[in-house]
A and B are shown apart, each in its own frame.
Chain A
């Protein structure tokens, strides 16, 4: 059997070589489809990679509680897209933060609540800046580096804020703004710290820290009422108890929220997944579009195989007359289709990563190469080869030898 396989491989190689241009163009069709899938997957991969890198920076003692607005549900995503603010429907409140704080083994709790307001320092005004309400614990959970000053603390949290790099530049240019005041929500706040530029627009908090003002959540609550908490970050004392602690968090929250289970508790790798469900859906759609081009490429393979079968009808007749079975002929053409699509797949993988590299030059993404992505695309290529190669191969195998022998070129 292995002997025949080798013969089929050799035959396919000869046939592909003989029709070089035709084979190349067919491969190109597959390659374009595979390249776009690789491009999308490698960029998607780079994003979740960024997040998991960040989580490993923080350490593995992290547990994240998120409101369950959109657990993999497309309709809720569409609702979220069409409603004016995506932060309005959180069902987590400051009370939950207090509940979590009381659990044994939890060392720090920092909620992330987002609102926005017009910010001014007297001279300059920013029409709409992100105001992030949290607790002084955030600095214990997520390490941040400061250009000037420090993070808010329990002592000064009533009146102080920390500003992100870009906001500081926009309002104060390159001056040191620590000690100056900012005016928003009809209140004055003193700047105690300025963050170093982070330049990572994607993180597991889903917050762009460069463009945010950080303040105490209770202080924020006093001026805007109940802040909408989009996430609660919890740090556990020891990593070995993560499972137990997250179970306890779930239990206590359900109890304190009188049975409401509309939230999720994640730790470890799970944190990265729903960083943005919207993003997952968008990349899913893109992959779908890319698959269409792969299908078109597959049809190209089928087309060329049908031409090849009809051109070689006489050869099929001869082969059958000297003893080739239907299975032999089927395999011969199957292999040819498979090799065409595998060649296309390899071209596509290379092309896709070249494209991803060019995209990474103009965006913050780094192309993410993993054996999983390559394995998935390779498997897809094989599937395309089989799906689109089987019909021409069956057609070839079913040819009547007597009729085929009469078929001269």
Chain B
């Protein structure tokens, strides 16, 4: 059984008006099933990042419909979209985006602040997540005291700490050397195999081996869309009930 996590219908993102009007996305349709690992590729300016921002509720489409877990989120309030970001979406960025003044433990615990988890629970979950990415020894390091690869692993820990429905990664390996890239991709692969849905933007064709589906974009539209794994073979969460139980077993 494959749930639909994301459904985009006729999504259009328009910038400017009249002569200066341009489209980052034009009548974009996409359906994402639970357990997919989608890589989005394409030349600069083809709308990859805009797509990711819209899916992550950081940006709003000019037109079209967006269903997240069956809920129409095309025109929800800012407060509601902040809540959904906290609960259902995990971001991984090219430049890690960790708060420099906070130790990585607090950085990882950050999303839990906004879902009203008590401090002890936050730090415990964050600590678990960090241990999982082999950073358990460095909980109290500041981001600047870690290597790029380590920072990105901390950022991945932050993305999964609140058990999101989808993980959105915008060129997570873009700032890393090949060795660190490899480690980061292995970690992403591992969390995908647990049944997480990952949508990743990349420029590096070599990374498509990790994907279950590769989408090539051109001028705000889908150019090619190739599934390498059949829907029924996608990794699924061990149980679909509260995902927290699932994570606790690891």
Contacts and interface: CB of A to CB of B under 8 A. Distances in A.
Given A320-B82, A321-B91, A405 B97 contact: yes
A3 interface: yes
A222 interface: no
A324 B79 CA distance: 9
7 contacts: A1-B116, A3-B119, A4-B113, A314-B97, A318-B110, A322-B86, A326-B82
B-side interface size class: 20 to 34
A323 B80 CA distance: 10
Determine chain A's interface SS by DSSP, over half rule: helix
Interface of A: 1, 3-4, 6-7, 14, 18, 314-315, 317-328, 401-402, 405, 408-409
Given A6-B119, A314-B97, 13 more contacts: A1-B116, A318-B110, A319-B110, A320-B82, A322-B85, A322-B158, A323-B111, A324-B86, A325-B83, A325-B114, A326-B79, A326-B82, A405-B97
Contacts of B85: 320-323
A325 B113 CA distance: 11
A321 B111 CA distance: 9
A405 B93 contact: yes
Given A18-B101, A319-B110, A401-B58, A328 B116 contact: no
Given A322-B91, A327-B79, A402 B115 contact: no
Q: Across chains A and B, which 5 residue pairs bring their CB atoms closest together, nearest first?
A: A323-B86, A325-B82, A323-B114, A322-B111, A323-B85
A322 B114 contact: yes
A18 B86 CA distance: 27
A62 to B, nearest CB: 61
Contact of A323 (B78, B82, B95): B82
Contact of B83 (A4, A323, A401, A402): A323
B99 A318 contact: yes
A246 B56 CA distance: 76
Contacts, number: 71
B53 interface: yes
Contacts of B119: 3, 6-7
A402 B58 contact: yes
Contacts of A7: 113, 119
B105 to A, nearest CB: 14
A325 B78 CA distance: 7
B58 A323 contact: no
B118 to A, nearest CB: 6
A409 B144 CA distance: 13
B52 to A, nearest CB: 10
A321 B58 contact: yes
B117 interface: yes
B41 to A, nearest CB: 21
B138 interface: no
A23 to B, nearest CB: 15
B101 A402 contact: no
